[in-house]
Amino acid sequence: MQIEDVWIRKVFTGRGDITVEVELTAEDPAAGGYVVTRAAAPAGASRGAHEVLYFPEGGVDAALAAFEKLVAPEVVGLDVTETYAVDGKLEEVDGTPRFERIGGAVAIATSFAAAEAGAASLGVPLFTFLGGAYARRLPLPLGNVIGGGKHSRGLGPDIQEFLVIPLNPPDAFTAVYVNAEVHKRALKYILKVDSSFTGGKNDEGAWTPRISSITALKILKEAAAEVEKELGVEVGLGVDVAASSLWNGGRYVYKNEGVERGPREQMEFISKLVEEFDLIYVEDPFHEEDFQSFAELTDKFRDRLIVGDDLFVTNPDRIKRGGEMKAATGVIIKPDQIGTLMRAHQAVETAKRFGMRAVVSHRSGDTEYRTLAHIAVGFGADVIKTGIMGGERTAKLNELIRIGDYLGKWAAIARIR
């Protein structure tokens, strides 16, 4: 099951940004032939300061050159069923903690492609390859209905995402359907407050009206209640504040609302939102170095998912620090933030050790690949955050439904409350 050859090419994310795709050929002794797999790296618009470097200095062309010179000669001959060997070799040839020589995009695309080949060589689904025979729990889908912040180019609310999550769905199809219906119903409520809204959506398929954050939450609450009543599935509300993008000069600057909040005012504002709208999920309510404020909010709302993204950047060391401080009840897991599946798995295991739930997440500039659904199931995540609308979003959601069908009666749905 050795790697016979690897290629790399420039491709595009759903946002139109350039990324890289790795294509890999591995020997398949059982079938007497070869397995060919491909994988591409997603790209985020709002990146944490502690993420791996996406491309090395010199951009995508430097990444391609580094792949040809450093990666390809070293990974050929490795066994694709030994993920630690492939991912370990990527770390070895780069030699820096943040993949500064080959770039995180090259690293994660290679890691993904090798894992896909490993699964194909063994004749098992990718989620089984990653999680073993007992990986059978399906994560709850979390998706943004209304978008603001950087994902909406500053044209919507200052808070970046207004999210919904089904809390007690009977199966994966119903879970996905609930979110899609909330997204659809939200439009009529948006038009009630902004009759000139033309239906614009952001990078992740969320509506982008020019409304305040409070108005967005009121709309979300109304749409969710309507769907909840009709489908009989409880719908939780959430926000991704992306507070690091608001942090400027020691204050949180809400430009569109014309408000600035100091750290204490931010704490009071977020706490009020949690209480007033019964928020189940709160992501990045404070900037990426403020572990203490995270810990204070978590202490107040330990029964909610208080989640760190920029705070942790899928880094086991930062997750350990947050765990020791009881700074969160959930951790965003984005494999591209840390560079390899092996590192991402270490991040998940660290989070679980401290009782924090794993939220496996897409990026705003994602690809058509369905890999993330398998990672979420294989890693035993409680939640998969992958948007609601748009081809690169529904690719993951439809795959989650397929995994549920594959598992049949053995499938279990995660519960977060």
User: Which residues are CB-neighbours of 408 under 8 A, at least 6 positions away?
Assistant: none
For residue 154, the model assigns a pLDDT of: 72
- Residue 287 is assigned to a ligand binding site: no
Enter the tokens of residue 272: 């009020």
Final residue of a domain: which of 123, 143, 171? Answer: 123
User: Which residues are CB-neighbours of 375 under 8 A, at least 6 positions away?
Assistant: 126, 127, 130, 335, 341, 344, 360, 381
Does one domain contain both 378 and 249?
yes
Final residue of a domain: which of 123, 141, 161? Answer: 123
For residue 176, the model assigns a pLDDT of: 98
Number of domains in the chain: 2
Q: Does the reported pTM lie above 0.85? A: yes
Does one domain contain both 39 and 187?
no
Does one domain contain both 280 and 160?
yes
CB-side neighbour CA atoms (13 Å) of 132: 2
CA dist., res. 304 & res. 179, Å (int):
19
- Residue 4 is assigned to a ligand binding site: no
* Alpha carbon separation from 126 to 240, 286, 370 (Å, rounded): 29, 35, 10
- Residue 91 is assigned to a ligand binding site: no
Does one domain contain both 117 and 145?
no
- Residue 364 is assigned to a ligand binding site: yes
For residue 281, the model assigns a pLDDT of: 98
Active-site residue numbers? 204, 334
Final residue of a domain: which of 87, 107, 123? Answer: 123
Does one domain contain both 271 and 301?
yes
Long-range pairs for 274-277: beta carbons < 8 A, 24 or more residues apart: 274/301, 274/304, 276/217, 277/217, 277/220, 277/221, 277/237
- Residue 240 is assigned to a ligand binding site: yes
CA angle 251, 255, 261 (to 5 degrees): 30
For residue 46, the model assigns a pLDDT of: 67
For residue 156, the model assigns a pLDDT of: 84
Does one domain contain both 217 and 68?
no
- Residue 309 is assigned to a ligand binding site: yes
User: Which residues are CB-neighbours of 380 under 8 A, at least 6 positions away?
Assistant: 131, 135, 137, 348, 352, 358
List the CATH number of the domain containing 79.
3.30.390.10
* Alpha carbon separation from 147 to 240, 266, 270, 292, 316 (Å, rounded): 10, 20, 17, 27, 29
Does one domain contain both 207 and 321?
yes
Cβ atoms of residues 133 and 114 within 8 Å: no
CA angle 404, 405, 409 (to 5 degrees): 80
- Residue 363 is assigned to a ligand binding site: yes
- Tens of pLDDT along the chain (417 residues) come to 899 999 999 999 999 999 999 999 998 876 678 999 999 999 987 677 889 999 999 999 999 999 999 999 999 999 999 999 999 999 999 999 999 999 999 999 999 999 999 999 999 999 999 999 999 999 999 999 999 987 777 778 999 999 999 999 999 999 999 999 999 999 999 999 999 999 999 989 999 999 999 999 999 999 999 999 999 999 999 999 999 999 999 999 999 899 999 999 999 999 999 999 999 999 999 999 999 999 999 999 999 999 999 999 999 999 999 999 999 999 999 999 999 999 999 999 999 999 999 999 999 999 999 999 999 999 999 999 999 999 999 999 999 999 999 999 999 999 998
List the CATH number of the domain containing 280.
3.20.20.120
Does one domain contain both 100 and 246?
no
- Residue 334 is assigned to a ligand binding site: yes
Q: Hey, which residues does 14 pair with through a beta bridge?
A: none
CA dist., res. 60 & res. 223, Å (int):
42
Does one domain contain both 114 and 135?
no
Does one domain contain both 160 and 219?
yes
For residue 292, the model assigns a pLDDT of: 98
Does one domain contain both 115 and 159?
no
Domain holding 330, by residue range, is 131-413
For residue 116, the model assigns a pLDDT of: 97
Does one domain contain both 142 and 119?
no
